[in-house]
Every structure is written in C-alpha cells, then in structure tokens.
Amino acid sequence: MPHQPGTWTREEIAVVDAGAARRSIEGTAIGNFMEAYDFTLFSLVATILAQKFYPGENSGTGNLIATFGTMTAGFVVRPLGGVIFGPLGDRIGRKPVLVVTISLMAVCAAATGVLPVYHTIGLWAPILLTVIRVAQGLSSGGEYAGAMTFIAEHAPDHKRGMMAGFLPVGTLAGFVVGATLVTGLQTALPSADMLAWGWRVPFLLAAPLGLIAVYLRSRIDETPDYEEMHARHEETSARKQFRQTVVEQWKPLLICLGVELAVTDTSYMVSGYVPTYLKKTAGVADTAALVMVLVVLAILTVGVLLVAMLSDRIGVKPLMWTGCGLLIAVSIPAFTLMRFGGTYPAKFGGVLLVGLPMLFLSSLEPAILPALFPTNVRYGAVSIGFNIAVSAFGGTTPLLAESLVTGTGNAMMPAYMLMFAGVIGAVTLIFAPEVAGKPLLGSRPSLHRGSGGPGGGMTPGVGAGALPGRGGAGYTQPGPFDDSGGG
C-alpha cells in the first residue's frame, strides 16, 4: 500500500521494546553519573592535588593554577574526542563506542587514585596526571553526546523527553554524590590524613563503579535506527562523512552551539563557580557554601525529570524559552541575594534562584540536540557541536567569571554572563524546530508497545496526530527545520 502523507501503516511504525528502553536508560545514565562524579572530585580536591603533584608541595597560586590548567587540558581535547568517537559511532555503531568511552573514563578516574605523587617520582607526577586528564577528556568527548544519541534512538516519539530526562538526573546525581563524599571525608578525617591518603578514596571508588557501568553497557541493545541504517550497507568515505556531518549540517550545528551556550554556561556557573563566589565574594564558610550548592543540585535532580516529562505534553521549545527567560530575569536578583543576604537562608535563596534556569535547560538538552540531525550523522554531529560548546563556553565559565570579577571589580559580572547566555539561547531557539512527539530525522515513527491502535493495516489516529501527549498536530516526518508546533 503506498505511503500517504501524514499517515503511516502499522508495519512502518517502529515499536519500542520496554525492556530495551529500560536498559538503555540504565546503561547511559551511569556514564553521565561517572563523568560528573569525576569532574566534581577533581574540582573539590584541587588544593590537595596542587600540594601533591607539583613542585614545592604547596597549594599556592602557582600550583593551583597548574592544577586547574591540568583540568582545563581535559576540556580542550573534548572536541577532539568528539571528532574521534562521534563519527566512529556513526560507522561501527553506538554501543561499541559507548562501551569504550565508559571503560576509558573509569580507568582514568581510578588511575588518578593510585598515581604516585611529586615527592615520589618528581616531574613525572604532573606529566602523568595531565596525560590521565587528557585521556579522560577524550573519552568525555564521546560519552554524553553518545548517550544523548543512544537514548533518543531508543525512545518512543511521545516519551522521548521523559526518557532523555534521566541523563541529567545521572549528571546531577554524580555532582551530588561526589561532593557529598569529599565533604564527608574532609569532615571525618584529620587534615593530615586527608592530605596523605583520604583524597585517593573517592577516585579509587571509580573502579567498582566502572565495572558496574561496563556491565550495564554490555546489556544494552544497539539502537534500531542505527541497525536499520547499517542494514542498508551504505559505504561512506571519510571525506564524504566529514562533508555530511559538518558541511551539510552547518545550520543545525549553529543551533546546537547557541542552545548549548545557554545550557553549559548555566550548569558550570552553578556547579563550578558559585561555591567559589559564595566563599570569596559573599563571605560564606567553605562547608556552608558547598552544602548550599549541594542542596540545590539535589533539588534539581528531582525536578529535571518532571520538566522532561512535561516537555512531552507541551513541547521542548516553550520550556527552554522559559529557562532562557529566567536567566535574563533572575540572574541579578540571585547574585544580589548571595552578596547582600544577611542570613544563610537568604544567600541560599540566591543559589536556588540561579539554579532555577538550569532546571529548564539541562533537563531538555538531551531531547533537542539529537533531534537536530539525521541518523547517518547524528552521533558525530552532536559530538562535534556539543563538545565545541562545552570546551569553549562550559569549562571556561568559572575562570572567565572570576577573571571578570577580579579585573573589573564588579561582583555582578557572573550575572551579566548568564543574562548574555539567556539572550543567545532565546534567539537561537527561534530557528530551532519543535522536536517533541515527532520522529527523529531519517527515522520511522516509534511508539511504546501497547500505545498504537488495535488490529492491523492503518494505525488509527496516527495520521491525525493522536499520539499520547501530542494531539492535534500532523504526525509527519518533519523537514530538517520544520518549525511547526514550535514557537
């Protein structure tokens, strides 16, 4: 029977297996957890690493800059990791690449915990630490973009937002667990023990976590979209793949960069810079500052999934516009409360306020980015766009914010940075397609088992847009930048 525009036969609609979907959530969210966990550990024990791995064995300015320089090296190479692992995932499959990235991440984190220090091996200590961070950065370059691609291709169209929402849950949980563990060790151990061996404990815990992660990854099924594409045996040269991934996708890549500017600027400001701002500018004690941020991240861990579920009903773009609008509206009040709030609850209110836009942006990032690109280049294009943005806008946010505050003497510069990010994100979304409830580019419509119509032949209601949560809109394969249903 010939295909009718806006109508799909039952045989043309992919039916998502519930077990495969559940395993895809488990297998991808654990990687996000580990990446955030590792980043949090390195950030919070940076003063100890400065003493242990660099000449002079102190945490003075020079050694601290060198330590953060080592961490920055990992961010600098992330785009290279995206260029390596992303296109590879489009050629050999999503699953094998994701198994490699999670394995490399776990090995790097555990290796940090057993690495000899400067007192033992001299200059080899900072060299090896840098090599480990570079390897970790390369693996991160293929990890989150691959997880977003994988979960998007396993999710039914009408539940993609909800399923993708488990990825930021994993990320936020990694921040919270890592920070809680370091804070607990610093509280329980004498300073001398924390300096001598306590800092190694959370890194060493990455080894069993890594084994669990690799096991969960080994149980996931390759995505149906990739398998269908692979079954067509389309041979592609490296030159042609580059043209298809970068040159032909220039417009969605620009959208990816603009959206990601708003997302990463916000998340790295909250998790990476606000604790420093509270301590240095607002006069909050170290532990209290960390606890404030921890509590906000814990609240967001629950909230992001609710926002992600809501996007399946009302759309991704309205909620992301809400996040961008909040960046513009609440950033100055938030940092004013942090600076001038007379009590800890008032200062905490400022932290909570600046975390509110993150609730709407981070929760929807994995729903919109993979949907910008077709199946044959999805992993590669998302990896390249996402990692360039994270490297340029995310990893540099704490350094840029502190430099602006110090250089200008204006303590409100971080708020202006967030407002700028909100404006860029809001404008970019004008050109982005609404992706909620629609098939991915190059893919068939997909439903959860049991959500289609009864009997055979034509699936009732699908052509009329009667899918759960997306009533009233034609359920046709969208064009690359079909903005119907969006803003």
CATH number, domain containing residue 280: 1.20.1250.20
What is the chain's alpha carbon radius of gyration, rounded to the nearest angstrom? 23
Other Cβ atoms closer than 10 A to 427: 12
pLDDT computed for residue 483 by the predictor: 37
Instruction: Evaluate whether residue 471 is within a structural domain.
Output: no
Q: What share of the chain is helix, strand, coil (3-state, %, to 5)?
A: 75, 0, 25
How many angstroms separate the first and last alpha carbons of the chain?
Answer: 35
Q: How many domains does the chain have?
A: 1
pTM, two decimals, is 0.84
Instruction: Evaluate whether residue 65 is within a structural domain.
Output: yes
* Paired strand residues for 111: none
Instruction: Evaluate whether residue 2 is within a structural domain.
Output: no
CB 27 within 8 A of CB 166: no
Tens-binned pLDDT, residue by residue, of the chain (487 aa): 344 445 655 655 666 667 777 888 888 999 889 989 998 888 888 888 988 898 876 666 677 778 888 888 888 899 999 999 999 999 999 999 999 999 999 999 999 999 999 989 999 999 999 999 999 999 999 999 999 999 999 888 888 999 999 999 999 999 999 989 988 998 899 989 999 999 999 999 999 998 999 999 988 889 888 888 888 766 677 888 889 899 999 999 999 999 999 999 999 899 888 888 898 888 888 788 888 999 999 999 999 999 999 999 999 999 999 999 999 999 999 999 999 988 999 999 999 999 999 999 999 999 999 999 999 999 999 999 999 999 888 877 887 888 888 889 899 999 999 999 999 999 999 999 999 988 888 777 766 664 444 333 333 333 333 333 333 333 344 433 333 333 3
Residue 357 domain boundaries: 13-224+240-431
The alpha-helical segments, DSSP class H, found in 117-246 are 118-121, 124-154, 160-164, 166-188, 191-193, 200-204, 206-218, 224-231, 238-242
Other Cβ atoms closer than 10 A to 454: 7
| Rounded Cα gap, residues 36 and 171, in angstroms | 5
Instruction: Evaluate whether residue 196 is within a structural domain.
Output: yes
Secondary element (H or E) of residue 391: none
pLDDT computed for residue 382 by the predictor: 95
